[in-house]
Structure 1
Amino acid sequence: MPRFALLLAAGLLACAAQAQATSFVMTTDALAGASVGVSESTSDLSSSFGDDKIVLAARDDAASFVASDGAIRGARLEAALRHIRERAPQLDADDRQLARAILVL
């Protein structure tokens, strides 16, 4: 009986390890996919707005916006988002992506 219990425990451990590895891979893939849009927005923003005073002044508001999951929208962030969209209408990014890109500048 002890040998059967050991084999059963080893089998359960192997199943648990496989499930955990699969979960990690799926989480990593999801995060990587989400970061692609942010990195594309960041590269476009940094090349165009890296020294823009309106955008740089919005960094604190952008941090609050990201940290609050969009609940806090400061006036400087609103001005920066409007400014970015007027000067670069080709950017296909939502407010969260742009706020994260502002933080990277």
Structure 2
Amino acid sequence: MSRKSLFGAALLLALTSTAQASSFVVTTDTVVRGVAASTDATSDASSSLRDKKIVEAARDDAASFVGSQGAIRGAKLESAFAHIREQVPTLQASDAQLAQAILAY
């Protein structure tokens, strides 16, 4: 083999291994991003389910609260109020408005 052919083969081999390494990095990054997105979506969905359960559990208490014009305050309703205000600290709603929103939910 001539020196020129040997150099050409070495150059081709170097370029091929670099391309494979780059391809591996891109593939790995894509897989990692996909797993991270899936994990985030699962986390969001399970926290949404937990939020929904807290609010749904307070429906009966909210009905009693609204029906009694605020005289009856159940523990589940108080928990829902605290949870909602924790999730949305800038919310400017009265307990009556929140109870009505829970009933509408």
TM-score by length of 2: 0.51
Deviation at 1:86, TM superposition (A): 0.3
Deviation at 1:90, TM superposition (A): 1.6
Distance in 2 (CA, whole Å) between partners of 1:77 and 1:64 is: 10
**Paired residues, number:** 57
What code does the residue aligned with 1:103 have?
A: L
Deviation at 1:74, TM superposition (A): 0.3
Which residue is 1:4 aligned to?
Answer: none
Which residue is 2:65 aligned to?
Answer: 65
Compare CA radii of gyration and give the structure with the larger one.
2
Find out whether 1:91 has 2:91 as its counterpart.
yes
Deviation at 1:52, TM superposition (A): 1.3
Matches within 5 A, 1:10-89: 52-89=52-89
Distance in 1 (CA, whole Å) between partners of 2:52 and 2:88 is: 13
RMSD over aligned CA atoms reads 1.7
Distance in 1 (CA, whole Å) between partners of 2:56 and 2:83 is: 12
- RCO comparison, higher one (Cα < 8 Å, 6+): 1
TM-score by length of 1: 0.51
Q: State percent identity of aligned pairs.
A: 68
- Determine helix, strand or coil for the equivalent of 2:64: helix
Distance in 1 (CA, whole Å) between partners of 2:91 and 2:59 is: 19
Structure 1 segments, 4+ long, off by >3 Å, are none
Which sections of structure 1, spanning at least 5 residues, go unmatched? 1-47
Distance in 1 (CA, whole Å) between partners of 2:101 and 2:67 is: 14
Which sections of structure 2, spanning at least 5 residues, go unmatched? 1-47
Distance in 2 (CA, whole Å) between partners of 1:52 and 1:103 is: 12
